Structure 1
Amino acid sequence: MSSTGKQSGATKAPAEPNKWLIAYNSISSSFWSIVLFNTVFLGSLEGQPILFNKTNLILTVIQCFAVVEIFNSALGIVKSPIVTTTAQVFSRLLLVLGIMQLLPNSPANYHWCYITLTLSWSITEIIRYSYYASNLSNPNGVPYFLTWLRYSTFWVLYPTGVSSEIAMIYLSLDEAKNSIGSWYYYFLIATIATYAPGFYTLYTYMIKQRKKVLGKISTNSNEKKSQ
């Protein structure tokens, strides 16, 4: 599922963790830009199955890099709850490790849902990591356009991302049963069942955050105009 982790602001966190977070978020945004470029370029020119064959490994490596966020949360470098962060990271790892790598012959890997998955993930993460990096490094605050993207694009990207993840798992059920065993088949079915409550929680949280953050910016802007 899509991440909604909260990272501490530049004025509150110690200097060294801030430097680390700025570097981590900037590098992560750059990595996901590679995923987006590969998806758009190869997807439009070559399509499937070439897209999956040429991009699944780098996508897996980049997504595995997000394990760092669990350690950031556990060490208190960011404010994200450790349980929520771990659940979000591992839900992604299930897709890249438990489907793409463990079940390379799954029809899901060569389906259109792989394309919508990588597009949804990459655009979301480019915006999210860029927002965090800017929040930590820019003393004047995050540019409005980036804040608007962070708290508006989820309207589309969360549903497309979650539906793509579910489609990837669903299309892999038969392959899971045949290649791994019935236990993995039922494990994936149980995983699908967790998406409804998880999506509702994340989606409603982002709706509230959007109203809070953008509403505050609008109020501050109106106050400045009236002065």
Structure 2
Amino acid sequence: MKIQSEESVILFLVVWTMTEITRYSYYTFNLLHHLPYFIKWARYNLFIVLYPLGVIGELMTIYAALPFVRRSGMYSMRLPNKYNVSFDYYYCLIIVMLSYIPRKETFYFHVMRIYEKEDDPR
């Protein structure tokens, strides 16, 4: 199974692309001292929808990759080896996925605070 063909990959790539186009359009127009209202609005409002969609796309992609990672042993290191270290990428991915749960609101509201500071005219 190829993870690249998962719909979740398309989801987070579209979301990341929209985010970067908005961000760099904002920076460019701001540098030119001609910031259209729509670009400013998009910069400060689209993330409300795009951020959760990006997180969902990332988590769905990691979840889809789990069976392949487990079967293949990808990026895992088993004992015995010359480094005398064991690492299982499968469990690492599960920990990464679980770490999103307590941190999702923290990340989201952190981004909101950043945008509020950027928009503050002081």
Shared topology, TM-score over 0.5? Answer: yes
Write the distance in 1 (CA, Å) between the matches of 2:16 and 2:29: 20
Aligned residues: percent identity? Answer: 37
One-letter amino acid matched to 2:11:
T
Aligned to 1:99: none
Match of 1:145 among 38, 41, 57: 38
Give the Å deviation of 1:161. 0.5
Aligned-pair Cα RMSD in Å: 2.4
Structure 2 distance, partners of 1:202, 1:129, is 21
Aligned residues: 110
1:201/1:134 Cα in 2 relative to 1: closer, same or farther (>3 Å)?
A: farther
Residue 19 of structure 2 corresponds to which residue in structure 1?
124
1:134 correspondence with 2:29 = yes
In structure 2, runs of 5+ residues without a counterpart are 77-87
**Cα distance in structure 1, aligned partners of 2:104 and 2:90:** 22
Q: 1:62-106: per-residue Cα shift (whole Å, max 9, x none)?
A: xxxxxxxxxxxxxxxxxxxxxxxxxxxxxxxxxxxxxxxxxxx34
User: Does 2:111 align with 1:206?
Assistant: yes
Deviation at 1:205, TM superposition (A): 1.9
- Tell me the TM-score normalised to structure 1 length: 0.43
Alpha-carbon shift at residue 193 of structure 1 (Å): 2.1
Alpha-carbon distance, 1:141 to partner = 5.4
Instruction: Report the counterpart of residue 96 of structure 2 in structure 1.
Output: 191
Deviations 1:100-136 (CA, angstroms, capped at 9, x unpaired): xxxxx34x4322212211111110111112222333x
Query: Counterpart amino acid of 2:42?
Result: L
What is the identity, as a one-letter code, of the residue corresponding to 1:202?
F
**What is the CA-CA distance between 1:186 and the residue it aligns to?**
0.7
Q: Relative contact order (C-alpha < 8 Å, sep 6+): which is higher?
A: 1
**Residue 45 of structure 2 aligns to a residue in which SS?**
coil
Q: Which amino acid aligns with 1:187?
A: C
